[in-house]
Amino acid sequence: MKLVAAASSGPKQGTSIHCRGLVRIYQAEGIEVVALQGLDLEVPAGELVAVVGASGSGKSTLLNILAGLVWQQTARNLLPYLSAAENVALPLALAGVPRRERRERAAELLGRVGLGHRARHRPSALSGGEQQRVAIAVALANRPALLLADEPTGELDSGTADEVIAVLTEVTRDVGVTGVLVTHDAEVSARADRTVTIRDGRVAAETIAMRSIGSWGEEVVERREFAVLDRAGRLQLPDDHVKELALRRRVELELGDDHVTLRPGPDLGER
């Protein structure tokens, strides 16, 4: 199970994220690894964005850079000798918040995540899903402007994962923070305002929840996927499109009035 982490408190209107040509190179067993290759990302204040991609694509590296530090296990977020309420109150105590206000804030947040009745229990007496919900409350204690989560439903069963992500999305939207979630869970990404797909260290595609009003006045949500053109004019095509069209090294482009047509280019026998 992995962390839900929060940035420090910010202005009431929230905070936004701006990444321009982000590059991250590190050494692993004597080999130079380029984790991010000029990544561009915009997250407006108040938006909840899910970041997805294959292992090694660069998504966790991105979160580490945004957070400065991201713990990998819930146990690193909760002190085992403190109750749930005491864990939530701890960051408030460190910020100098008066004791009465700390108690009220901890009770409010534990109520929001559905654990008001478990306030006096220590982490060892809580289930994995309950621990993760306490971690969400801890992350929100100081009213952060930015919330970052690394696999918030990792290692949880599907039922518990549904509960955790429902609490996470509802609470963050209610509080009005900007959220970035790294996940492999399609159910998690489906609840975000936007899903960003990272491939080879760059943003390759975005899936946006397009909202409209149906014929009966109900809200209709259609999730549409778009390829992303980066600042250098580069475009990554989805793997299934490349395979379906048998695209290789060369691609022929034909400009129409409002579209571009792609066709396989000549194969000159290169390997």
Burial category of 116 from C-beta neighbours within 10 Å (exposed 0-12, middle 13-18, buried 19 and up): middle
Residue where the block lists tokens 């590059």 = 23
CB contact set of 104 (below 8 Å; sequence gap of 6+) = none
CA distance 65 to 22: 10
At 22-40, the pLDDT tens digits run 898 888 778 888 889 889 9
Q: Is residue 85 helix, strand or coil?
A: helix
CATH fold of 4-227, please? Rossmann fold (3.40.50)
DSSP-based helix, strand, coil % in the chain, nearest 5: 30, 30, 40
Residue 13 is predicted with a pLDDT of 52
Q: Where is pLDDT greater, at 241 or 270? A: 241
CB contact set of 268 (below 8 Å; sequence gap of 6+) = none
Q: Where is pLDDT greater, at 8 or 228? A: 228
Domain ranges, ordered by start, for the chain: 4-227, 237-271
Per-residue confidence at 9, pLDDT binned at 50, 70, 90?
very low
CA distance 13 to 47: 12
Question: What is the end-to-end Cα distance of the chain in Å, rounded?
Answer: 43
Per-residue confidence at 86, pLDDT binned at 50, 70, 90?
very high
Element (H, E) at 30: none
Is the confidence at residue 195, as pLDDT, over 90? Answer: yes
Residue 1 is predicted with a pLDDT of 38
CA distance 146 to 70: 13
8 Å CB contact between 9 and 142: yes
Is the confidence at residue 82, as pLDDT, over 90? Answer: yes
According to DSSP, residue 9 is labeled B
Closest CA to 177 of 186, 168, 185: 168
Residue 3 is predicted with a pLDDT of 43
Average pLDDT, the chain: 84
Averaged pLDDT, 105-117: 91
Residue where the block lists tokens 């996940």 = 183
CA distance 88 to 110: 8
Averaged pLDDT, 139-156: 83
Lowest model confidence (mean pLDDT) among 109-118, 152-161, 233-242: 152-161
At 38-81, the pLDDT tens digits run 899 999 888 889 999 988 888 888 988 887 656 545 556 689 99
Residue 248 is predicted with a pLDDT of 84
Averaged pLDDT, 6-34: 72
Is the confidence at residue 262, as pLDDT, over 50? Answer: yes
Averaged pLDDT, 107-134: 91
Residue 83 is predicted with a pLDDT of 96
Alpha helices in 44-152 (DSSP H): 59-67, 84-94, 99-112, 128-140
Whole-model pTM above 0.75? yes
CA distance 20 to 56: 20
